[in-house]
């Protein structure tokens, strides 16, 4: 891992979050917001490590923008903006929660303060800290707000062109004894707080895909899409990044062929129970022998 490239990726991540806060207001169309955020990352000389996640209310993760479907953001909505920035496959992963109604402030604070408490602990204890220590801190902090952590969503390590690598970093108390100092790779910590059940399940919406393996496929449009998909080198992608010269029907049919043949797979939107609200805060850390624990994105600056 190149520390200097990761720092540059983190800097672009922070700039992207500030840009997102500037353009996201009640009444905006999230389909256009998503495209603008991804374009902003490209303009900065990087590439989205995945289509920006724009998950609303009880959606915790994996929703994104659909250029063929308007989605207007309402004043009472709770929006999670999860950004991945890749420079030559070196990835930083970060997220913020955007609200407009003060009744959701406690929810937003719960995930952010859980991440902040984790960072404070790791700064002092990065040489000895275990994954289990972080899970306990996150769960306890979120419960202090009278809310629940999402138990089946976790933080994770990152590798070159790998957005989610092992080991995972649970947001609840656990028995994982791995020390953060045993790994040289960056890792993302992402507490989710919820007013719901504390568990997410898969919804029906599919907007994010990933290459699984090469297999024979007859449809010529599917073959054409596959060649484009390979350029992402295994990172997640949006259907709106590919097949731009095809009709919407042809592109969707070709995607279905690739899914059916298990050449690609989807990341369904992850949701808590109806009527609940979920918040998220996330940054990417790395441990350097020279500099100690580094917050590559800067969680404090995201909130300023």
* Backbone angles phi and psi of 121, in degrees to 5: -65, -45
Compute the chain's Rg from CA coordinates.
19
Range of the domain at 298: 3-200+275-302
Annotated active-site residue 164? The verdict is yes
CATH classification at residue 219: 1.10.10.10
What is the per-residue pLDDT across 36-55, written as a single tens digit (0 to 9) for each? 999 999 999 999 999 999 99
**Is the confidence at residue 304, as pLDDT, over 70?**
no
210 and 99, same structural domain? no
Q: Which residues contact 27 (CB under 8 A, 6 or more apart)?
A: 72, 73
250 and 232, same structural domain? yes
What is the per-residue pLDDT across 72-126, written as a single tens digit (0 to 9) for each? 999 999 999 999 999 999 999 999 999 999 999 999 999 999 999 999 999 999 9
Average pLDDT rounded to a whole number, residues 245-271: 97
138 and 14, same structural domain? yes
Residue 83, CB-side half-sphere exposure with 13 Å CA sphere: 35
Annotated active-site residue 211? The verdict is no
226 and 188, same structural domain? no
141 and 26, same structural domain? yes
139 and 170, same structural domain? yes
CATH classification at residue 56: 3.90.230.10
Annotated active-site residue 156? The verdict is yes
187 and 74, same structural domain? yes
Annotated active-site residue 29? The verdict is no
Q: Under a CB-based contact definition with an 8 Å cutoff, are residues 16 and 41 in contact?
A: yes
Of 104, 156, 211, 267, which residue is the catalytic one?
Answer: 156
Determine if the pTM surpasses 0.75: yes
- How many structural domains compose the chain? 2
Of 59, 93, 133, 272, which residue is the catalytic one?
Answer: 93
Which pLDDT belongs to residue 28?
98
Q: How many CB atoms lie within 10 A of CB 220?
A: 10
Pairwise CA distance, residues 126 & 36, whole Å: 37
For the chain, the average pLDDT equals 97
208 and 140, same structural domain? no
Tokens linked to 151: 């138990």
235 and 178, same structural domain? no
128 and 112, same structural domain? yes
124 and 33, same structural domain? yes
183 and 53, same structural domain? yes
Annotated active-site residue 282? The verdict is yes
Average pLDDT rounded to a whole number, residues 198-202: 98
Pairwise CA distance, residues 297 & 295, whole Å: 6
Of 38, 82, 109, 239, which residue is the catalytic one?
Answer: 82
Query: Across-strand partners of 47?
Result: 86
């Amino acid at each position: 891992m190149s520390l200097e490239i990761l720092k540059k990726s983190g800097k672009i991540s922070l700039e992207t979050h500030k840009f997102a806060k500037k353009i996201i207001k009640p009444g905006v169309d999230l389909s256009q917001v998503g495209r603008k955020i991804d374009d902003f990352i490209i303009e900065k000389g990087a590439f989205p490590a995945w289509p920006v996640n724009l998950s609303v209310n009880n959606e915790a993760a994996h929703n994104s923008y659909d250029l063929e479907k308007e989605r207007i953001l309402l004043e009472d909505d709770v929006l999670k903006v999860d950004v991945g920035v890749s420079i030559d496959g070196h990835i930083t992963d970060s997220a913020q929660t955007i609200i407009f109604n003060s009744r959701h402030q406690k929810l937003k604070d719960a995930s952010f303060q859980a991440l902040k408490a984790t960072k404070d602990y790791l700064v002092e204890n990065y040489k000895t800290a275990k994954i289990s220590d972080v899970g306990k801190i996150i769960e306890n902090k979120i419960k202090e707000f009278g809310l629940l952590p999402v138990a089946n969503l976790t933080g994770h390590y990152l590798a070159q062109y790998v957005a989610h690598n092992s080991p995972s970093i649970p947001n609840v108390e656990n028995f994982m004894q791995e020390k953060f100092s045993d790994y040289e790779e960056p890792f993302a910590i992402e507490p989710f707080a919820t007013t719901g059940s504390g568990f997410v399940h898969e919804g029906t919406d599919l907007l994010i895909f990933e290459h699984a393996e090469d297999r024979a496929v007859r449809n010529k449009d599917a073959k054409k899409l596959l060649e484009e998909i390979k350029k992402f080198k295994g990172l997640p992608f949006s259907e709106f990044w590919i097949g731009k010269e095809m009709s919407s029907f042809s592109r969707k049919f070709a995607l279905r062929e690739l899914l059916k043949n298990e050449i690609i797979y989807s990341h369904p939107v992850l949701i808590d129970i109806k009527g609940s609200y979920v918040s998220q805060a996330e940054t990417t850390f790395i441990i350097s022998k020279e500099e100690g624990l580094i917050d590559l994105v800067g969680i404090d600056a995201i909130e300023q």
